[in-house]
């Protein structure tokens, strides 16, 4: 009896030791029933360290946090206690019953699996059950806001969008990355450079927050009606209180990845009034001054002077055409040189634009430069204004007199016949004898006789080259694309002065050039891919940026006014850039 008792005790000790050495790997959830607006935490716990942990797919949920790993290793009464946990934070996508399938891990060469868990997702609840998790805290304490200066501007009136990231006092942000940038369709846009992200204090919905300005953008609407501003989307790592403290009593923080968006905004763009619109109105909106001046008022024929038409002030300076200079036909006028000295800040565009014409008089006399008028829409008074220049007299002191400048009389002009009218008729001859040479056995005879025999090897070589060229399918395709690029570039040159036809032809030329050189189709075109491919082919970054800027000009030109000078500059820039890429491609 005593022996049996000892055997029982021995088996009990052995079973206890085996149980203590048994591997445990299980999944635990914070709740099995939750609203669609709640968050779920799932922990995968093990009592021994393992390798190759594979989580389930979490079908029906979005992973908003994790995996977070925690390890506990302690000794108590001479016994070691070990625990390792992988934690995920999940947001349900919709209502219904979902099964979180098995997770797997390798421990000691064996593969262990958790049991599936069924989660019931109900309708949204007013007050989510349980304490908020780290993701919920981050959502309540991080806000991305797009502050729009005007929501109902006029067409071509400046407005600004300032993106601010608000962070509560007890929350931190370690880094952020722009996930999706707004493209501002139907707007002319320019980003304002921000030097450093200074932390400032402000209010958000009446509460104290810290904020940083991430981006400033100036917009000029190019269409009327309801226009949407695409949202800015950021990926942020948020540091929120974990509810635990270290041995010194300091709050421990938990890092949670978070995606925040400023949301889309709608801008109601008003059309400019038709009442009182001047006939010479070219789309200028703002507050401007206008002047026309010349470098000289007196000069001699064949000398040159410059006439400058200049608009200065604040408004959409880059988005309208200047008035044209008209002068008498006796003055030779060259294409103007267009200059822009414009800076853009949160107040919009400010500065000057000008066209400078070179004028060369051909004849002596006094020539008036007629009055030139400039019209614009004044935002402050919401009315049209017109500014006219003074008439300028150009006095040409010395030079020939133009025929049409001579005073005409009622008498007929006397015609004086030329006595040498028939001087071209020869009245004497100078004949010379021509000695004919026989054709037979002459140099020409032998040349014509031997030429077919000499041409046979040449014809064979040419035919062989043609066959090789025809067999080169890829090369023929590239050569065809080259010819198309030249054709469209030629078409663009012919269309100078016709904005839409010019930029369509120029864009086709650029696309066909890329087809020829990079072997990509039109459907694959995007700026990122073009930049990547050209960089891989050792093209310099400044040349790549120049090429992409030309493509952007082609897109912008569809809904903005463009001058003849701008088109000429874009054409020359395209030819130069294509030449540089040809030289640098490897």
The residue ranking higher by pLDDT, 418 or 474, is 474
Averaged pLDDT for residues 62-77: 78
Classify the phi-psi angles of 497: left when phi > 0, otherwise alpha if psi is within -120 to 50, otherwise beta.
Answer: left
CATH 2.60.40 fits 137-269, yes or no: yes
Residue 422 has pLDDT above 50, yes or no: no
The residue ranking higher by pLDDT, 249 or 336, is 336
The residue ranking higher by pLDDT, 174 or 291, is 291
Residue 226 has pLDDT above 70, yes or no: yes
Averaged pLDDT for residues 333-353: 93
Q: Tell me the C-alpha to C-alpha distance, in Å, between residue 190 and each of 160, 215, 221, 346, 512.
A: 10, 11, 12, 10, 29
Strands 117-122 and 33-35: parallel
For residue 341, give the nearest of 352, 331, 332 by alpha carbon: 352
Residue 284 has pLDDT above 90, yes or no: yes
Residue 106 has pLDDT above 60, yes or no: yes
The pLDDT-based confidence of 409 (bands split at 50, 70, 90) is very low
Least confident segment among 50-54, 196-200, 401-405, 567-571:
401-405
For residue 217, give the nearest of 200, 193, 196 by alpha carbon: 193
Residue 39 has pLDDT above 50, yes or no: yes
Residues in the chain: 586
- For residue 486, the surrounding DSSP H or E stretch is helix 473-494
First-to-last CA distance in the chain?
94
Most confident of the following: 22-31, 92-101, 124-133, 284-293? 284-293
Q: Given 1.20.120, 1.10.3470, 1.10.287, 2.30.240, which CATH number is that of 473-584? A: 1.20.120
Residue 436 has pLDDT above 70, yes or no: no
- Tell me how crowded residue 560 is: count the other CB atoms within 10 A of its CB: 19
Q: What is the pLDDT of residue 573?
A: 82
Averaged pLDDT for residues 139-148: 89
Most confident of the following: 45-59, 451-465, 498-512? 45-59
Residue 111 CA neighbour count, 13 Å, CB half = 6
Class of residue 267 by CB neighbours under 10 A (exposed 0-12, middle 13-18, buried 19+): buried
Asked if residue 364 lies in contact with residue 397, where contact means CB atoms within 8 angstroms, the answer is: yes
Q: What is the pLDDT of residue 419?
A: 47
Contacts of 487 (CB under 8 A, 6+ apart): 509
Residue 242 has pLDDT above 80, yes or no: no
Q: What is the pLDDT of residue 307?
A: 95
Q: Tell me the C-alpha to C-alpha distance, in Å, between residue 402 and each of 109, 187, 383, 406.
A: 106, 51, 46, 7
Q: What is the pLDDT of residue 484?
A: 53
Residue 6 has pLDDT above 60, yes or no: no
Establish whether the linkage from the previous residue to 67 is cis, with ω within 30° of 0.
yes
Share of the chain above pLDDT 90, in %: 35
Averaged pLDDT for residues 315-342: 92
Tell me whether the CATH fold assigned to 23-128 matches the one assigned to 473-584.
Answer: no
The pLDDT-based confidence of 405 (bands split at 50, 70, 90) is very low
DSSP state of 154: B
Averaged pLDDT for residues 13-26: 61
Residue range 473-527, pLDDT digits in tens: 556 655 654 565 566 677 777 777 777 788 888 888 887 777 777 776 655 667 7
Least confident segment among 47-51, 313-317, 454-458:
454-458
Strands 298-299 and 392-396: parallel
Phi, psi of 471, deg, nearest 5: -75, -20
DSSP state of 193: P
Residue 420 has pLDDT above 80, yes or no: no
Q: How many angstroms from the chain centroid is the CA of residue 111?
A: 50
CATH (residue range 286-401) = 2.60.40.740
Rounded-to-integer distance, Cα 531 and Cα 524, Å: 13
Phi, psi of 469, deg, nearest 5: -65, -40
Q: Tell me the C-alpha to C-alpha distance, in Å, between residue 437 and each of 8, 97, 433.
A: 140, 111, 13
For residue 531, give the nearest of 522, 519, 544, 520 by alpha carbon: 544
Q: What is the pLDDT of residue 522?
A: 58
Q: What is the pLDDT of residue 546?
A: 84
* Mean pLDDT rounded to a whole number for the chain: 81
Q: What is the pLDDT of residue 257?
A: 84
Phi, psi of 285, deg, nearest 5: -130, 125
Least confident segment among 125-129, 291-295, 375-379, 581-585:
125-129
Cα-atom radius of gyration of the chain, to the nearest Å?
Answer: 41
Q: What is the pLDDT of residue 414?
A: 37
What SS3 state is found at 322? coil
Q: What is the pLDDT of residue 324?
A: 93
The domain segmentation of the chain, as residue ranges, is 23-128, 137-269, 286-401, 473-584
The pLDDT-based confidence of 433 (bands split at 50, 70, 90) is low
Residue 88 has pLDDT above 50, yes or no: yes
Residue 283 has pLDDT above 90, yes or no: yes
Averaged pLDDT for residues 545-558: 78
Residue 345 has pLDDT above 80, yes or no: yes
Averaged pLDDT for residues 67-79: 75
Rounded-to-integer distance, Cα 40 and Cα 487, Å: 62
Asked if residue 172 lies in contact with residue 189, where contact means CB atoms within 8 angstroms, the answer is: no
Q: Given 3.90.1570.10, 3.80.10.10, 3.30.930.10, 2.60.40.740, which CATH number is that of 23-128? A: 2.60.40.740
Q: What is the pLDDT of residue 104?
A: 93
The residue ranking higher by pLDDT, 406 or 76, is 76
Residue 382 has pLDDT above 80, yes or no: yes
Residue range 169-201, pLDDT digits in tens: 888 887 788 887 888 889 999 999 888 888 899
Strand partners for 143: 166
Residue 428 has pLDDT above 70, yes or no: no
Averaged pLDDT for residues 386-410: 74
What SS3 state is found at 56? coil
């Amino acid at each position: 009896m005593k022996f049996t008792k000892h055997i029982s005790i021995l088996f009990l000790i052995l079973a206890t030791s085996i149980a203590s050495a048994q591997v445990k790997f299980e999944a635990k959830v914070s709740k099995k029933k939750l609203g669609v607006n709640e968050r779920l935490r799932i922990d995968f716990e093990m009592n021994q360290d393992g390798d190759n942990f594979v989580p389930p797919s979490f079908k029906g949920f979005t992973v908003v946090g994790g995996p977070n790993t925690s390890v506990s290793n302690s000794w108590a009464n001479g016994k070691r206690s070990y625990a390792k946990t992988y934690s995920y934070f999940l947001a349900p996508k919709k209502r219904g019953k979902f099964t979180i399938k098995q997770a797997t891990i390798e421990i000691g060469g064996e593969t262990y699996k958790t049991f599936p868990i069924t989660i019931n997702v109900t309708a949204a609840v007013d007050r989510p059950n349980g304490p908020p998790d780290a993701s919920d805290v981050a959502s309540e304490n991080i806000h991305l806001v797009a502050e729009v200066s005007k929501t109902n501007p006029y067409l071509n009136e400046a407005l600004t969008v300032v993106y601010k990231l608000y962070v509560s006092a007890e929350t931190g942000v370690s880094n952020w990355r722009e996930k999706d940038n707004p493209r501002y369709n139907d707007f002319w846009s320019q980003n304002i450079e921000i030097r450093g992200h200074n932390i400032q204090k402000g209010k958000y919905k009446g509460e104290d927050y810290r904020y940083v300005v991430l981006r400033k953008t100036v917009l000029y609407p190019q269409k009327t009606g309801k226009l949407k501003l695409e949202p800015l989307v950021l990926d942020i790592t948020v540091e929120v209180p974990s509810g635990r403290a270290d041995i010194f009593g300091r709050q421990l923080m938990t890092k949670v990845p978070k995606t925040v968006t400023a949301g889309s905004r709608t801008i109601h763009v008003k059309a400019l009034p038709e009442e009182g619109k001047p006939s010479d109105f070219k789309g200028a909106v703002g507050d401007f001054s206008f002047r026309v001046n010349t470098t000289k008022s007196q000069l001699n024929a064949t000398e040159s002077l410059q006439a400058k038409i200049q608009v200065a002030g604040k408004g959409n300076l880059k988005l309208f055409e200047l008035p044209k200079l008209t002068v008498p036909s006796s003055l030779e006028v060259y294409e103007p040189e267009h200059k822009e000295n414009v800076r853009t800040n949160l107040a919009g565009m400010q500065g000057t634009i000008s066209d400078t014409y070179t004028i060369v008089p051909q004849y002596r006399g006094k020539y008036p430069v007629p009055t030139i008028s400039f019209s614009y829409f004044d935002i402050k008074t919401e009315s049209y204004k017109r500014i006219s220049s003074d008439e300028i007299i150009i006095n040409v002191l010395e030079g020939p007199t133009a025929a049409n400048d001579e005073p005409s009389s009622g008498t007929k002009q006397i015609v004086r016949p030329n006595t040498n009218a028939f001087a071209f008729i020869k009245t004497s001859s100078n004949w010379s004898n021509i000695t004919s040479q026989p054709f037979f056995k002459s140099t020409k005879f032998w040349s014509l006789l031997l030429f077919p025999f000499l041409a046979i090897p040449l014809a064979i070589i040419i035919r062989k080259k043609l066959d090789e060229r025809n067999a080169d399918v890829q090369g023929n395709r590239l050569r065809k694309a080259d010819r198309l690029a030249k054709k469209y570039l030629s078409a663009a040159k012919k269309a100078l002065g016709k904005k839409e036809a010019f930029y369509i032809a120029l864009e086709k030329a650029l696309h066909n050039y890329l087809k020829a050189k990079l072997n990509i189709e039109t459907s694959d075109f995007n700026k990122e891919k073009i930049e990547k491919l050209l960089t891989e082919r050792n093209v310099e970054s400044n040349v790549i940026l120049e090429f992409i800027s030309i493509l952007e000009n082609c897109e912008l030109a569809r809904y903005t006014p463009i001058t003849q000078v701008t088109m000429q500059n874009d054409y020359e820039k395209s030819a130069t850039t294509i030449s540089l890429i040809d030289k640098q491609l490897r």
